[in-house]
Amino acid sequence: MTTCIFCMIGNKDIPAKVVYEDEYILCFHDLEPQAPVHVLIISKKHIDSLDAVTETDGELLAHIMLKVKDIAAELGLEKGYRLVNNCGKDGMQTVKHLHFHLLGKRKMIWPPG
């Protein structure tokens, strides 16, 4: 049995407030939102991080990127949104599973960190 929290959510071992799901990805509300809308988009395939992606994951990454706009539209983010991937310790990646944060419904600041 895996101890990866996102794998457990993807396998429905842990409940989540799901926004979108298909055979490759799951999108659900973040438990500690940093914006009025803050969802996580995870790969159902366990990949530790963006650094661990290989050429065989190209279709999966393309699928995620193509679904972002649909998920954003469903969440009413017509004024814009931010898509974030934290990678590694200095990037503040807290869960070692490929995921993206989709944030919106407020004006984002720059620089972000």
**Given 46, 63, 97, 99, which residue is catalytic?**
99
The C-alpha atoms of residue 51 and residue 87 are separated, in whole angstroms, by 7
63 catalytically annotated: no
Cα 100 to Cα 1, 41, 42, 65, distances in angstroms: 24, 5, 7, 10
How buried is residue 95: exposed, middle or buried, by Cβ count under 10 Å (0-12/13-18/19+)?
Answer: middle
Give the contacts of 32 (CB within 8 A, at least 6 positions apart): none
The C-alpha atoms of residue 37 and residue 105 are separated, in whole angstroms, by 6
Catalytic residues: 99
